Amino acid sequence: MKVLMTGAAGGIGTRLRTLMKGIYPTFRLSDLHRPKDLANDEEFVQADLADIKQVTRAVEGIDGIIHFGGFSVEGDWGTIHQANIIGCYNLFEAAHQAGVKRVVFASSNHAVGFYPRRRKIGIDEPVRPDSRYGVSKAFGEAVGAFYAYKHGMRVTSLRIGNFADHPVDQRRLAIWLHPEDLVQLVRIGLEHPDIRNEIFYGASDNERAWWDNESAFRFGYKPQHKAEDYRDHALAEQAKLPHDAIGDWYQGGTFCSAEYDSELGPSQS
């Protein structure tokens, strides 16, 4: 399999470059900027996702794509629109035109951030984005479904929680994703024969999880890392944080409380 990973210079992409090296015969990298530590044996194609011609060049000859490119935090609409709306559509369209068979799309927990922490959700609840960034991830999931059902592409959307070596506060005890567990999810998306259009939660074995990840387990996902192993440190760090009436109520945390001006108050459902 010949695989392309976009967003190769970002935080997650940089880590996956190391963890996934050697798994596939061709592992091409792409980003808006060339990684500073690019090795001589790594293939890199520089591309702006908002430029369809550049994206077309990047996906040429590829069988599967790990799409981690785009703007990875909240931003103004112009930035989100170019990188995560136009860029995401360009990626799927170029992949379709090039005959790419599979795409693993980096969605986010922020596509459903406005569910309260007291509620456990699966993949069938309507999206509740908590930010412009979250809106773009909900859009990406919809685009992936379109290319899956209209054009037969096999698409996996990963609603990534907090990607890190260990959880650093109470919220992250529920949404933490160890890098090695992410590799497992990505490989399921690229390799499992029964994938059509799936949504998985990008989370490790978290006892306090707010998400029902049965869809991932059904495809063989077996997370190897437990958030509770870091409980004492995470709770000690939580005690240092200021109270946030909105952010502490909703799963999306500070993405929910930022710019929040609703007169209705937190939703109970």
- The mean pLDDT value for 53-80 works out to 97
- The mean pLDDT value for 51-67 works out to 98
Confidence of residue 57 (pLDDT cuts 50, 70, 90): very high
Instruction: Look at residue 186 in the predicted model and tell me its pLDDT.
Output: 98
Q: List beta partners, residue 202.
A: 160
Which of 221, 215, 252, 214 lies closest to 127, judged by CA? 252
DSSP string, 98-158: TT--EEEEEEEGGGGTTSBTTS-B-SSSPP---SHHHHHHHHHHHHHHHHHHHH--EEEEE
Which are the contacts of 181, defined by CB distance < 8 A and separation ≥ 6? 202, 203, 204, 205, 223, 224, 225
Global confidence as pTM: 0.97
- The mean pLDDT value for 99-105 works out to 98
Distance CA 161, CA 31 (A): 22
Confidence of residue 123 (pLDDT cuts 50, 70, 90): very high
Instruction: Look at residue 83 in the predicted model and tell me its pLDDT.
Output: 96
- The mean pLDDT value for 113-119 works out to 98
Confidence of residue 255 (pLDDT cuts 50, 70, 90): very high
Confidence of residue 90 (pLDDT cuts 50, 70, 90): very high
Instruction: Look at residue 195 in the predicted model and tell me its pLDDT.
Output: 98
Instruction: Look at residue 203 in the predicted model and tell me its pLDDT.
Output: 98
Confidence of residue 187 (pLDDT cuts 50, 70, 90): very high
Domain residue spans in the chain?
2-257
Instruction: Look at residue 206 in the predicted model and tell me its pLDDT.
Output: 98
Instruction: Look at residue 152 in the predicted model and tell me its pLDDT.
Output: 98
Which of 161, 174, 173, 162 lies closest to 232, judged by CA? 173
Half-sphere exposure of 202 (CA within 13 A, CB side): 29
- The mean pLDDT value for 161-189 works out to 98
Confidence of residue 129 (pLDDT cuts 50, 70, 90): very high
Give the catalytic positions in this structure.
133
Q: Determine the angle formed by the axes of helices 52-59 and 87-97, rounding to 10 degrees.
A: 50
CA dihedral sign of residues 19, 24, 30, 35: positive
Instruction: Look at residue 262 in the predicted model and tell me its pLDDT.
Output: 96
Q: Would you identify the CATH topology of the domain 2-257?
A: Rossmann fold (3.40.50)
Distance CA 56, CA 26 (A): 17
Percent of the chain at pLDDT > 90 equals 97
Question: Is the Cβ–Cβ distance between 98 and 150 less than 8 Å?
Answer: no
Q: What is the mean pLDDT of the chain?
A: 97
Confidence of residue 210 (pLDDT cuts 50, 70, 90): very high
